[in-house]
Amino acid sequence: MNVAVMQPYIFPYLGYFNLIEAGDLLVFYDDVNFVKKGWIHRNRILLNGKDFLFTIPLDNASQNKLIGNIDTKFDDRWRQKFFKNIRFAYQKAPFYEPVSELIHSVFAQNDKIARLNIKSIQAVYDYLGCSLNYCLSSKQFPDTKGMDRADRLIKITKLAGGQKYINLAGGQTLYDKSYFEQNGVELNFLESDLPTYPQGKQKDFIKGLSIIDILMYNDIDVVKEMFNAYRIF
């Protein structure tokens, strides 16, 4: 079995979904420290021909707190502004109506940021009519907390019944294949193709945006193909 481990991101970019598809189980890393400038509470959409960063308000977020313990703190005013940007950015996109409803459902109420993010990913899979197999590190593997980063991933993979651990290509600077192999787990890296697609009247394609952008401009079958456009090495 292939295991992937990732912090829960809000409507993440395509590469995140490639990683999910490459694995048999996704472990949401919700009991690690929050990263202020990461992708846990923010992402990019296409607005006015440029990538636009939206940020979800959080309640006393700190890098000394675990992701799973941080609450969101958005109100109706923030929602109105956020959805105004979504409408302005994508109202002419071919799949604006169903995708807009999807996004509204995710932001219906405040929650822990980890749960909100997982809800956003689950909503994408529900929209595509596909299943998502996941668990939480805080619930399934609490005894591994505090271990060295690589050792914890190896332990989680084994406890999950996996023989292979898959990481995004950026992890090559963090993890060594031989070390994983010495400890009984095969380490593989994933590189996403990030294919181009029509972005309305946009002339210069902007890649790596939130999955929101892909859903707005592509039908379900095309999105499914994109989810499987990656290579393992």
- Contact between 7 and 37 under an 8 Å Cβ cutoff? The reply is no
The pTM for the full model equals 0.96
Give the H or E element holding residue 226.
helix 220-227
What is the model's pLDDT at position 115? 98
Q: Is the model more confident about 101 or about 37? A: 101
Helix (H, G, I), strand (E, B) or coil at 206: coil
pLDDT bucket at 58, cuts 50 / 70 / 90: very high
- DSSP letter for each residue of 134-198: EEEHHHH-GGGTTS-HHHHHHHHHHHTT-SEEEEEGGGGGT--HHHHHHTT-EEEEEEE------
Domain range for 79: 2-232
Mean pLDDT of the chain: 97
CA-wise closest residue to 53 among 38, 66, 65, 68 = 38
Quickly count: other Cβ atoms within 10 Å of residue 229's Cβ. 13
pLDDT mean over 11-32: 98
Look at the chain and report how many structural domains it folds into: 1
pLDDT mean over 30-58: 97
pLDDT mean over 217-228: 98
What is the model's pLDDT at position 8? 98
What is the model's pLDDT at position 98? 98
pLDDT mean over 178-201: 97
pLDDT bucket at 145, cuts 50 / 70 / 90: very high
